[in-house]
Amino acid sequence: MRVLGIESSCDETAVALVEDSPTGEVRLLCSIVSTQIPLHRQYGGVIPELASRNHSGRLPYLLREALESSSCTIAQVDAFAATGGPGLVAALLVGHTAAKAMALAAGKPFISVNHLEGHLLSPFLQGRRSRAAADAPEPHVALVVSGGHSLLLHVRGLGQYELMGRSQDDAAGEAYDKVAKMMDLPYPGGPEIDKLAERGDASRFDLPRPMLHEPNFDFSFSGLKTAALYLLPKLTPTGDPHELDEQTLCDLCASVRAAITEVLVRKARRALRHTGLRLLAVSGGVSCNSALRRELAAMCANEGAELLLPSAELTTDNAAMIAYAGLLHARVGEHSELTTPVDPNPTLAGYTVRQ
The site for Zn ion, by CB under 5 A, has a size of 2
Q: CA–CA separation, 111 vs 161, rounded Å? A: 19
Interacting residues of 26 by C-beta distance below 8 A, sequence separation 6+: 18, 19, 20, 125, 129, 133, 136, 324, 327
Range 130-149, binding Zn ion (CB under 5 A): 146
Determine whether 137 is exposed, middle or buried from the number of CB atoms within 10 Å of its CB (0-12, 13-18, 19+). Answer: buried
Binders of ligand KG4 among residues 95 to 124 (CB under 6 A) are 119
Quick check: 343 binds Zn ion (CB under 5 A)? Answer: no
**Which of 84, 85, 109, 188 touches ligand KG4 by CB under 6 A?**
188
Residue 151 interacting entry, from Zn ion, ligand KG4, none, C-beta within 5 to 8 Å by type: none
**By CB under 5 A, residue 355 contacts Zn ion:** no
Cβ–Cβ < 8 Å for 110, 99: yes
How near is the Cβ of 158 to ligand KG4 at its closest, in Å?
20
Task: Name, in order, each residue with C-beta under 8 angstroms of 334's C-beta and a sequence gap of 6 or more.
Answer: 111, 159
Q: Which does 63 bind (CB under 5 to 8 A by kind): Zn ion, ligand KG4, none?
A: none
Residue 64 C-beta: closest distance to ligand KG4, Å? 24
Residue 13 in the binding site for Zn ion (CB under 5 A): no
CA distance 125 to 297: 19
The reply to whether 174 sits near Zn ion by the rule CB under 5 A is no
Q: From the list 52, 83, 126, 146, which residue makes contact with ligand KG4 (rule: CB under 6 A)?
A: 146
Q: Which of 317, 320, 349, 355 binds Zn ion (CB under 5 A)?
A: 317
**Angle CA 236–256–294, to nearest 5:** 140
Q: How far apart are CA 138 and CA 85, in angstroms?
A: 24
Give the nearest distance from C-beta 118 to Zn ion in angstroms.
Answer: 8
Interatomic CA distance for residues 216 and 288, integer angstroms: 25
Which is nearer to ligand KG4, 45 or 60 (by Cβ)? 45
Residue 166 dihedral angles phi and psi, to the nearest 5°: -160, 170
Minimum CB–partner distance for residue 289 and ligand KG4 (Å): 3
10 Å CB burial of residue 304 (0-12, 13-18, 19+) is: exposed
- DSSP calls for 181-240: HHTTPPSSHHHHHHHHHTTS-TTSS----TTTTSSSS-B--HHHHHHHHHHHHHHSSS--
Choose the binding region for ligand KG4 from 96-104, 106-114, 123-131, 280-288 (rule: CB under 6 A).
280-288
To Zn ion, the closest distance from the beta carbon of 284 in angstroms equals 6
CA distance 113 to 14: 14
Minimum distance, C-beta of residue 7 to Zn ion, in the bound complex (Å)? 8
Which residue stretch of 35-43, 282-290, 330-338, 340-348 sits at the interface with ligand KG4 (rule: CB under 6 A)? 282-290
Is residue 131 helix, strand or coil? helix
What is the nearest approach in angstroms of ligand KG4 to the Cβ of residue 114? 11
Could you say which of 289, 308, 319, 349 contacts ligand KG4 (CB under 6 A)?
Answer: 289
Binding site for ligand KG4 (CB under 6 A): 119, 146-148, 173, 176-177, 188-191, 194, 284-286, 288-289, 316-317
